[in-house]
Chain A
Amino acid sequence: MSVRGRIKDFWREQRLFEQRSLAASVVVCVLTLALFSRLVWLQVVQYDHYAELSQGNRVRTEPLPAPRGIIYDRNGTILAENRPAYQLELVPEQVRDLDATLRGLVEIGLFTPDDIDDARRIVRSSRPFDSVPIRLHLNDEEMARFAVHRFEFPGVDIRTRLARYYPQGELAVHALGHVGAISPADLERIDLGEYAGTSTIGKIGIEAAYENVLRGRSGAREILVNARGRSVDKVGALDAQLPVKEGKPGSDLYLTIDLEVQRAAEQAVLNQRAAIVAIDPNNGDVLALVSRPGFDPNLFARGLTRAEFASLNDNPNRPLFNRAVRGVYPPGSTIKPVVALAGLKHAVIAPTDSTFCSGGFSFPNSTHRFRDWRPKGHGNVDMVSAIAQSCDVYFYELANRLGVKRLGDFLGEFGLGQRTGIDIGGEKTGLVPSPEWKRSAFKSRRAQVWFPGETVIMGIGQGYVTSTPLQLAHMAGIVGMRGASFQPRLVRQFRDPTTRKVTPVAPKGLPAPDVGDAKNWDVAIAGMFAVTHGGTASRSAAGAPYSIAGKTGTAQVFSIAQNAKYDESTIGELMRDHAWFVAFAPVEAPKIAVAVLVENGRSGSGVAAPIARLIMDAYLLRKFPAANTTVTAVGDSTEE
């Protein structure tokens, strides 16, 4: 090391330091300029971008769900309303690990492992900032449990929402339907935006058919949220004066159902497999629509477990099945008055023409005998007594004369084989068979042939012909009204919940059947009047202060071999005949038309007719049976 190196040169070092501190100052200025440029970039050039991001951070759009319309019966009794309920909701964007969160909810017992998939699907299909309900109807104990664990579940919270409640329980469930949690299948057909803040959707019945009316329109408001997603009213000098988009509450509905009549009807068949439809034939108002067994719609509104659903769905009595509009049964003898009208219209028979009933009908050169329900026969019968006694042979003969085409077309004019157009979905058409139908329905050439015998049994409502209880009530009403026909309906008016303005629904008239001479109606009605006055259902009509016209019927569940005797004791319950009764009253100016079907009830006169009487008493006389009494069969044994 040199000597010069060891001796400090103060002047040189001074100059060196000054250079270096000048350089440092320059570096400082340059870096400050770089920082300033960065700020200009962020705050001036990219301002719009960041302002938008900031707005997205602080504002959350919160839906204001519209209250669902309230459903009343025709007299203003509440059938469906909204009650506050507590539910668990999740905001997807605030949940870091959805699966872990859902598993955590299972651990604390608020979720079952089965629910995870559904919840995941619903969360995935939601907008990230929307609060999604993942578990409905928490009870107090569950709320307390969640409160303890809340901190473990960021993005999950308990919210109070209005939930659907059906105060009448099972009553009228098959007309009313129910709401249920929006399912993945629903998600594919609805616009989720319209369901903001709503977790349920009408699934079936009125609730589904009038979904768009009942739902209303969700509003929305923007709320100030902090980083943890909590809404805040005011913090610092920020306040929450943000825009609100008003929604519109759903419209209230007044059904045509008369709840008292409905209740009387349901109680009459409480523990049976049965369907009842009562219609006001003057306008198509459905006064009662019963399908038993039923179920509690609140189960669905609340969200039932898989096990609960399975037990309903697998129940052999099929409580979820709406027999009244979806059940198709052979109408049996209930269509005989209409078959009679067809004969009169086409002049193949006169009312007074007498037919001898020996207890069976055979084609010439055939050994096959179409049996009458009364083995020894009815002797000589004219049209009125044939209806009154439900003589099968008379109608075999008549159907044979009419032919399948004319008979089928005429039945169609009374609404058979087609939907009545009732304002709930899922209605079945039933079937009025024809040779054309048979050709398209069967594969084998042999099976496609239409046999004359098939026309013959069509005359007594057996064979391929099927109908729903709704169709038969509709049909009975048309007969009672001498052709005046109205589309059955369940909603009679809407009401705007804010203005209280009521909008009635006009009845929809349908074309009247062409029966030729209007006097022909008198014959058919006289026949049905005779049924309840000396005919098969006399006992059920006994003592009524108003006049009843009706028709019994039996729908064969399986056919009895030739020469065999129908013996109910030897066959299982589910193989027994279904019991039918259709009626209208008062005869002079009908106010109600009824169809009663009791599955495997065996006897139209013994089982179905007393039930119809009870319903007519309820509606016409406001006379109701004491609660919890069921109708027992009157003893007309096993006849029609």
Chain B
Amino acid sequence: MLREEVDSPAQRTFARTVSVLGTFKLDGPLITGLALIAIFGQVVLYSATGGDPQAIVRGSLRLAIGVALMLMLAQTRPGMLRRWTPVLYAVGLVLLIVVDAIGYIGKGAQRWLDLGFVRFQPSEIMKLAVPMMCAWYLRERSLPPDWRTLLVVATIILAPTALTIAQPDLGTGLLILSSGAIVVLLAGLQVRVILALLAAGVGAAVVGWNFLHDYQRQRVLTFLDPQTDPLGAGYHIIQSTIAIGSGGLFGKGYLRGSQGQLEFLPERSTDFIFAVVGEELGLFGALLLILLYLFVVLRALFLASQMRDTYARLLSGSLAALFFVYVFINTGMVSGLLPVVGVPLPLVSYGGTSAVTMLAGFGMLMSLYANRKFAG
């Protein structure tokens, strides 16, 4: 609804901002939520690195790359993303095979592909390429998917998952698996099939146990009882629960968290940064951050539900859900709800390429939303 008279400068500024965002095909609430998380993240990161300004510079630079990519992807024309989807998936798959082969020859864990000027993880591409590919395939099929469709989608998901776990990188592998699974769930997979798959999953987990590396098994065992190995594998989780618990309601104060500042907390600036939030800013600080994430996720899901195209809404919905999966797995792991898997806290953890991936995903989401009227 438009008004004839704009009666205050604040409203005028707001209206102008909305129109500028619209021009760049950006969603105001989503951008605001992401920006607040990023700012919150950089503030916490400064403390978590022991007050290292360099880390903030590098962290912001990485965020800037992600933002640039997001803005770029937000401008793409409808259909473009969809057309390039199979190509991206194929390229990612090939790179994964290459990395595995190098790792096999070099007899060691191999996750990175060194291109000379830059190193990157092909599995990171797959976090986006798998849901894109699933959405691309399901777009042409009638939903809910039948068994044959499911079989194809399962192949699309499981191939990169298996290649990633083989690297070995259990955490990313499971994330790729869930990114695809979410698409299928959103596509309307029948409840009875979901239950059947869950049962099959439990069976597979039992069988898969035998194929896990020792350190991966150890993580699971340690999760079940961290005290069995307080100085070894359980150390991370014991120290992070101490950090969070000792933060109390209001925290020990910014830059005053002894667990983090005195380095009892391992990986304090990367995977375990949420413990720094809990320790220094307390329950209220942690809750504020969680609510920001919740807002972003719910907003993204809402945007997805507004789209008319199957590819668009499946991809957007799965990206939104995947973002939440990241947040939940990370915070769940740090607070001792889930086993320790190497999943960073989106937009807050230092380093890695996941922030770029996430922002790229939101770029695509906003592009799809801007062009939501175009049904495929």
Contacts and interface: CB of A to CB of B under 8 A. Distances in A.
Contact of B317 (A5, A20, A35, A236): A20
A53 interface: yes
A47 B335 contact: no
A50 B301 contact: no
B283 interface: yes
Nearest to B182: A24
Q: Secondary structure at chain B's binding surface: helix, strand, loop or mixed?
A: helix
Interface string A34-58: 1110111011101101110111011
Interface stretch (A156-164, A219-227, A321-329, A391-399): A219-227
B30 interface: no
A17 interface: yes
Contacts of B51: 236
Contacts of A21: 186, 301-302, 304-305, 313, 317
Shortest 9 CB-CB distances between A and B: which pairs?
A: A50-B245, A54-B246, A236-B261, A237-B255, A58-B258, A236-B255, A42-B245, A226-B262, A16-B188
Given A5-B142, A25-B298, A39-B278, 9 more contacts: A8-B143, A17-B310, A18-B305, A24-B185, A28-B298, A32-B294, A54-B245, A58-B258, A238-B256
Contacts of B264: 57-58, 226-227
B283 A39 contact: yes
A9 B144 CA distance: 10
17 contacts: A1-B146, A13-B188, A17-B186, A17-B317, A20-B185, A20-B188, A21-B302, A32-B328, A35-B331, A44-B248, A44-B249, A44-B283, A46-B245, A57-B258, A58-B258, A58-B262, A235-B50
A43 B245 contact: yes
B199 interface: no
Nearest to A34: B337
Contacts of A518: none
Interface string A472-510: 000000000000000000000000000000000000000
A258 B86 CA distance: 101
Contacts of B320: 24
A548 to B, nearest CB: 74
Nearest to B303: A21
A408 B252 CA distance: 80
A29 interface: yes
Nearest to B144: A16
Interface string A1-25: 1000111111001101111111011
Interface in A207-238: 224-228, 232, 235-238
A16 B248 contact: no
B321 A50 contact: no
A20 B186 contact: yes
Pick from B248, B249, B278, B320 the residue with the most CB of A within 10 Å.
B248
Nearest to A5: B142
A237 B254 contact: yes
B146 A5 contact: yes
B347 to A, nearest CB: 17
Interface of B: 47, 50-51, 142-144, 146, 182, 185-188, 231, 239, 241-249, 253-264, 278-279, 282-283, 286-287, 290, 294, 297-298, 301-302, 304-305, 308, 310, 313-314, 317, 320-321, 324, 328, 331-332, 335-337, 375
Contacts of A10: 308, 375
B140 to A, nearest CB: 8
A578 B204 CA distance: 94
Contacts of B301: 21, 24-25, 28
Nearest to B246: A54
Pick from B50, B239, B246, B263 the residue with the most CB of A within 10 Å.
B246
Contacts of A43: 244-245, 247-249, 278, 282-283, 286
B286 A235 contact: no
Contacts of A227: 262-264
Given A235-B50, A236-B50, A42 B241 contact: yes
Pick from A34, A42, A46, A49 the residue with the most CB of B within 10 Å.
A42
Contacts of A225: 262
Nearest to A57: B264
B60 to A, nearest CB: 20
A38 B142 contact: no
A19 B186 CA distance: 9
A38 B337 contact: yes
B249 to A, nearest CB: 6
Pick from A6, A16, A237 the residue with the most CB of B within 10 Å.
A237
A96 interface: yes
A100 interface: no
A187 interface: no
Contacts of A28: 294, 297-298, 301, 321, 324
Given A6-B142, A36-B287, A235-B50, A42 B186 contact: no
A513 B241 CA distance: 78
B290 A35 contact: yes
Contacts of A238: 255-256, 258, 261-262
Contacts of B304: 17, 21
Given A21-B317, A54-B243, A96-B231, A36 B290 contact: yes
